[in-house]
């Protein structure tokens, strides 16, 4: 790579190669080497950071302000931490209408109240007209450690639970851009995943929110760290009617579409039914499903396999190109 491309920010293979080839050799240490969504620091503190460049700023079901809060909160939750405090840094383009800025700030405030977190510090920078695109946001999140993911405890028979339908956020943003001349009632699933926190105390082994790169990339990154293959059942994957229709019409694979209010949970085999009941009790988890398991009947260690609706097996790999730039 001699120049930065949009694919570098996709959450897929190119970003993984960039981190492995540039970031870890320069800054590698035992904490960073975990490459988790949030890190657990001494003293029971968890820490994360993220940046948001979504285009357009406002879309059905969300906006850049709500996305920034919920995305940061969710990175803490799926890492085993109770979110407490956020920072908020705004990078603004000269000439931005103050009404737009006020709307973003109100959204950040409302989302923070809903997630029970406080904005406690921040920064503001302005770039010349044409050197930015309206608003970019950077956040950091601090939380209280509740538990740590336990990859080493994952065994054959443990279940893969998806907390809801795939791809709603990607589709909502895509249609809001008007690139395809399509319309739909689909809304982004942007929401805080705080209802998943109790699962850590009940023995959850691992979680990850399904954002850039989609379900396939998230589960691939897990599978390559295990001693067993993961098998996912295509007919168990919950999809909304608009996402299913759009994926067929536009040829977009929903396994690589982003969510902003869904997560994957690895549950011990003996507790999977209990976990599923608890998740489905919450409005955000009503369409949750067990979609697969850790197993060794098919595939090789480290592989992610999909049993298709036709009964065949498909090897799933991480996203290799930019499906939809600036999705978050």
Note the pLDDT tens digit of each residue in 60-84: 999 999 999 999 999 999 999 999 9
Secondary structure tally for the chain: helices H, strands E: 9, 14
Sign of CA pseudo-dihedral 239, 187, 48, 111 = negative
The mean pLDDT of 255-265, rounded to a whole number, is 96
For residues 95 and 187, give the distance between their C-alpha atoms in angstroms, rounded to a whole number. Answer: 29
For residues 156 and 280, give the distance between their C-alpha atoms in angstroms, rounded to a whole number. Answer: 24
- The secondary structure element, H or E, covering residue 220 is helix 214-223
SS3 145: strand
Task: For residue 146, give both structure tokens.
Answer: 């509740």
Higher pLDDT, 304 or 16: 304
For residues 218 and 256, give the distance between their C-alpha atoms in angstroms, rounded to a whole number. Answer: 9
pLDDT per residue over 181-238, tens digit each? 777 788 999 999 999 999 999 999 999 999 989 999 999 999 999 999 999 999 999 9
Higher pLDDT, 166 or 4: 166
Lowest mean pLDDT among 71-80, 161-170, 242-251: 242-251
At a CB cut-off of 8 Å and minimum separation 6, what does 299 contact? 229, 231, 305, 313
Q: Which pLDDT score is estimated for 173? A: 94
Q: Over 90: is that where the pLDDT of 11 sits? A: no
For residues 142 and 117, give the distance between their C-alpha atoms in angstroms, rounded to a whole number. Answer: 9
Q: Over 90: is that where the pLDDT of 287 sits? A: yes
Q: Which pLDDT score is estimated for 310? A: 94
The maximal CA–CA distance of the chain, rounded, in angstroms, is: 60
Residue % of the chain over a pLDDT of 70:
99
- CA 283 from chain centre, in angstroms, equals 19
Query: Mind listing the domains of the chain with CATH numbers?
Result: 37-145 (3.30.1330.10), 151-315 (3.90.650.10)
At a CB cut-off of 8 Å and minimum separation 6, what does 309 contact? 234, 235
Task: For residue 46, give both structure tokens.
Answer: 């968890």
Per the listing, tokens 């293959």 go with: 229
The mean pLDDT of 252-262, rounded to a whole number, is 94
pLDDT per residue over 137-161, tens digit each? 999 999 999 999 999 999 999 999 9
| Strand partners for 166 | 239
pLDDT per residue over 301-326, tens digit each? 999 999 999 999 999 998 777 677 88
Higher pLDDT, 24 or 139: 139
Q: What strand order describes the sheet that includes 304-307? A: 206-209, 263-267, 159-162, 289-294, 230-233, 304-307, 313-315
């Amino acid at each position: 790579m001699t120049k930065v491309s949009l694919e570098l920010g996709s959450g897929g293979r190119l970003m993984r190669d960039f981190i492995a080839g540039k970031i870890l050799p320069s800054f590698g240490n035992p904490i960073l080497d975990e490459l988790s969504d949030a890190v657990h620091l001494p003293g029971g503190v968890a820490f994360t950071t993220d940046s948001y460049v979504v285009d357009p700023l406002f879309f059905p079901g969300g906006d850049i302000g709500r996305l920034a809060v919920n995305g940061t909160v969710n990175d803490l939750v799926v890492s085993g931490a109770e979110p407490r405090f956020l920072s908020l840094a705004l990078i603004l383009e000269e000439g931005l209408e103050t009404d737009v800025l006020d709307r973003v700030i109100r959204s950040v405030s409302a989302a923070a109240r809903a997630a029970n977190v406080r904005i406690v510090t921040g920064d503001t920078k302005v770039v010349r007209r044409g050197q930015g695109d309206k608003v970019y946001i950077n956040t950091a999140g601090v939380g209280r450690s509740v538990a740590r993911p336990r990859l080493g405890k994952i065994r054959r028979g443990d279940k893969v639970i998806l907390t809801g339908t795939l791809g709603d956020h990607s589709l909502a943003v895509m249609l809001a851009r008007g690139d395809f001349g399509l319309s739909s009632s689909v809304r982004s699933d942007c929401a805080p995943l705080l209802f998943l926190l109790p699962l850590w105390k009940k023995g959850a082994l691992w979680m990850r929110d399904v954002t850039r790169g989609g379900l396939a990339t998230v589960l691939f990154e897990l599978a390559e760290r295990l001693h067993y293959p993961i098998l996912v059942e295509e007919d168990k994957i919950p999809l909304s009617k608009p996402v299913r229709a759009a994926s067929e019409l536009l040829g977009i694979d929903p396994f690589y579409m982003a969510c902003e209010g869904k997560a994957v949970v690895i549950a011990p085999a003996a507790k999977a039914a209990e976990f599923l009941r608890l998740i489905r009790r919450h409005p955000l988890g009503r369409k949750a499903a067990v979609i697969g398991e850790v197993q060794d009947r098919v595939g090789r260690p480290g592989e992610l396999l999909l049993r298709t609706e036709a009964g065949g097996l498909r090897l799933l790999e991480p996203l290799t190109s930019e499906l939809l730039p600036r999705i978050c």
